Amino acid sequence: MASDNTAMVEMAGGTEQIQPAHFAFDATDEAAIAMHVAKYPAGRQASAVLPLLYIAQERMRQTTGSAWLPVVAMDEVARRLDMPPIRVYEVATFYLMFNTTAIGTWHLQICTTTPCWLRGSDEVVSMCRAFTGIKGWGETSADGKFTMAEVECLGACVNAPMMQVNNDYYEDLDAASTRELLEALARGAPPPIGSMKHRQGSAPEGGPTTLTTIKA
């Protein structure tokens, strides 16, 4: 049942989503918003819609633990940019990086495009399903900690297979390192980002083999 601060809103497909009744940016957000809006000439503020949606989604993460865009937040972005709300909804529902329903604390965005698939993304997906109990894409674990999403190439194929967790990349995954990663996330202690084999960038395992000396 919705509380005084929430409302049930019917979403596409007939499902219902609990929507908060209030949303507000904080002082840090206001400074970032002013900086982004100032990049565009008068009357073209709508061009700042993507960064403002990011800021709103991060505000939700920080205040509720779930990075998503309730209707009231999208309406606030529309108001700030003098846009019809429907145009903001169109942008938010078009891009995969925006969530229009609440998600878990850790958003597991697993790349299954060909290079990651050839390098073992099936193992990564299976381990995520086994660890979290999540069966379908877009679902959240019963404990509210994890949401799984299938994504297309995230541009880190050189260290495939990989997944993005919230805003960070974890690369060179296999079943064991995926389990290690998930255990650390469940403890609320995410490991250092990047290669799970501790490669330097995309250099060979064991370290760079070329350009190893730098001339003065």
Which residue ranges make up the site for ligand FES (CB under 6 A)? Answer: 111, 113, 115-116, 153-157, 160, 162
The DSSP output letter for 59 is H
Distance CA 54, CA 47 (A): 13
CB of 144 to ligand FES, least distance (A): 27
CB of 150 to ligand FES, least distance (A): 11
For 181, the 3-state DSSP assignment is helix
CB of 83 to ligand FES, least distance (A): 33
CB of 121 to ligand FES, least distance (A): 7
The DSSP output letter for 194 is E
Place of tokens 């429907």: 86
Distance CA 185, CA 212 (A): 35
Cβ partners under 8 Å of residue 64, min gap 6: 20, 102
Tokens of 21: 């009744």
Positive/negative CA dihedral, 87, 93, 95, 99: positive
User: Measured from the CB atom, is 63 or 114 closer to ligand FES?
Assistant: 114
CA–CA–CA angle 163, 169, 174 (5° rounding): 45
CB of 204 to ligand FES, least distance (A): 19
